[in-house]
């Protein structure tokens, strides 16, 4: 495994990020434990989750994925100490209904409550990276940074990150942090793949300028870049995603598969390697459902895509043309 710094921090993280969204509803606890053990053995120590992942378990408890991870940590053996743990706050977690403050969004009130719940489910006393799962334009940065400064000072959170923020939100967040002499955001988790290149216009340049690491979610384009889009045996989720694509995009995917075959690398690993080649990207999130799927992704960090092949990918999946305004103006 290869490692890099998370943005402008001194924290070293693996260039593949273990995504845990499947743990619970799609991957049972035993296999989830095996995947996390295999990830550590392979050198992947950056684990990403969210309080909402897993939804409800069979007994009506929310936060199923965090609970599975907490039981894995509780086994000991240095598991918690080895992991750089990231989770998120924003979504609805009410069970039973606790009032309007438990809906979608962010507030100092909600962040405090949901952080304590995540710590309990994860069976830990701190989170390395606590991320806002989505932008909420209602609360001001004085409110949000007020609570984040407090939980950082209390040792419950080490770093603060964002997810699904626009470039203007990231810039505003960092300007507000500077006024408070606070570190502010250290990372942005964003949708990025060969089939979703819009972040190259504004988000990636903003993160590069401000020193935020970018954690790429859905780097396989919802599964269509996995190499299994035409495989009847592939999961229904992948097939449904592919069926929604226009004929033009389907042809792009076919060309992509052919290019990867000529290169001698799997489409999934090429897609991950391309994501790693983007400016400011710390690493893509991989979401294995089995240990075998995890092991198949390890090759991605070793692939060096040459300029000619990157140009071919640009031809197959034209991006926005680079960063704005040069992408569309003189």
Catalytic residues: 53
Q: Which residues pair with 48 in a beta bridge?
A: 19, 86
Q: Check: CB of residue 294 under 8 Å from CB of residue 35.
A: yes
Provide the greatest CA pair distance for the chain.
59
Handedness of CA 53, 55, 56, 58 (dihedral sign): negative
Nearest CA to 114 among 88, 143, 141, 83?
A: 88
Q: How many Å apart are CA 217 and CA 214, to the nearest integer?
A: 9
CA distances from 53 to 99, 118, 119 (A): 21, 11, 15
Q: How many Å apart are CA 226 and CA 242, to the nearest integer?
A: 11
Residue with tokens 């309080």: 51
Q: How many Å apart are CA 197 and CA 205, to the nearest integer?
A: 13
Nearest CA to 69 among 131, 127, 121?
A: 121
Per DSSP, the residues of 68-89 read: HHHHHHTT-TTHHHH-EEEEEE
């Amino acid at each position: 495994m290869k490692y890099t710094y998370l943005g402008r921090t001194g924290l070293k993280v693996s260039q593949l990020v273990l995504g845990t969204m499947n743990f619970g509803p799609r991957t049972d606890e035993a296999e989830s434990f095996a995947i996390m053990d295999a990830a550590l053995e392979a050198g992947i120590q950056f684990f990403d989750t969210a309080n909402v992942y897993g939804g409800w378990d069979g007994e009506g408890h929310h936060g199923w994925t965090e609970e599975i991870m907490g039981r894995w940590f509780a086994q000991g053996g240095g598991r918690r100490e080895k992991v750089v743990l990231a989770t998120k706050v924003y979504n609805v977690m009410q069970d039973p209904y606790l009032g309007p403050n438990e809906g979608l969004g962010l507030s100092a009130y909600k962040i405090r409550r949901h952080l304590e719940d995540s710590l309990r489910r994860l069976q830990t006393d701190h989170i390395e990276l606590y991320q806002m799962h989505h932008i909420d334009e209602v609360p001001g940065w004085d409110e949000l940074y007020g609570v984040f400064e407090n939980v950082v000072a209390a040792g419950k959170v080490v770093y603060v990150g964002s997810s699904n923020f626009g470039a203007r939100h990231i810039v505003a967040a960092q300007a507000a942090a500077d006024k408070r002499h606070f570190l502010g955001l250290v990372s942005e988790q964003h949708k990025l793949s060969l089939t979703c290149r819009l972040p190259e216009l504004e988000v990636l340049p903003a993160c590069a300028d401000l020193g935020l690491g970018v954690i790429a979610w859905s780097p396989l384009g919802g599964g269509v870049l996995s190499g299994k889009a035409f495989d009847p045996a592939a999961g229904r989720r992948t097939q449904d995603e592919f069926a929604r694509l226009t004929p033009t995009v389907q042809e792009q995917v076919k060309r992509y598969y052919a290019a990867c075959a000529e290169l001698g690398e799997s489409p999934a690993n090429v897609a991950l390697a391309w994501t790693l080649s983007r400016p400011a990207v710390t690493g893509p999130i991989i979401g294995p459902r089995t240990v075998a799927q995890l092991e198949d992704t390890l090759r991605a960090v070793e692939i060096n895509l040459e300029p000619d092949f990157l140009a071919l990918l640009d031809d197959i999946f034209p991006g926005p043309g680079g960063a704005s305004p040069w992408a569309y103006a003189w």
